[in-house]
Each structure stands twice: as structure tokens, then as C-alpha cells.
Amino acid sequence: MVYNIMQSITNDLDTEIDQRKYKYTMKININMAIGFVKRFLLKILLEDNEEKMQKLSDLLFENILKNIVPIRNDRHYKRDNVRKNKHPINKRKSI
């Protein structure tokens, strides 16, 4: 449920990003958005005062919009997954 709330917030905020200011197309950093929603959602839901609730939700939206990342097209570098014996103590045979 929280993930669906976070997705609806980020979908609404994606349209507010001014793409003309950046070289690449920008999108919201989902990892940071999850953290902000996790931190602010319970406070917003438990708040009795509507003014404070609105301030908290505006702060949530502001924090999410501050953390945007570029979408870089045509990134296809081969990953180097060769890790020779990084932790050999973990590879011991059990007796």
C-alpha cells in the first residue's frame, strides 16, 4: 500500500520537473522517494491539524523533487563480475 502511495506521488511530481534546465531527461530517484514517504507518511496521517498536515505533505513533495537523477540512454557497459576469492573463509567445506 505504501509503495502504491509513493508511486502515485512520484507520478504526479514527474510532471513538475523542468526538463529544459538539464542535459539529460530527469526522473525522480525512487530509492530516496521511498525513504521520504516512509519517514513522512505516518506523521501526515496522524496529524490532527490540517495546516500542519499540509506543511508536512509540502515538505515531503519538496524533498522528493530535490532528489532527481538523469536517465542516460545507450548505457551498455559490460559489468566486471570477476571476484576471485573475495571472502575465502566463507567458502570452507563443512565437516
Q: Given this model, what pLDDT does residue 48 score?
A: 92
Query: Where along the chain do its domains lie?
Result: 30-72
Helix, strand or coil, per DSSP, at residue 88: helix
47 or 89: which leads in pLDDT: 47
Give me the pLDDT at residue 90, please.
66
DSSP reduced 3-state for 23? coil
Backbone angles phi, psi at 50, to 5 degrees: -65, -35
pLDDT of 66 reads 92
- Residue-wise pLDDT for 43-85, tens only, equals 999 999 999 999 999 999 999 999 999 988 877 777 677 666 6
Q: What is the pLDDT of residues 10-26, one digit of tens each?
A: 999 988 888 888 888 89
Contact partners, residue 80, CB within 8 Å, separation at least 6? none
Burial track 43-66 (b if 16+ CB lie within 10 A, e otherwise): ebeeeeeeeeeeebbeebbebbee
> CB neighbours (10 Å) of residue 79?
5
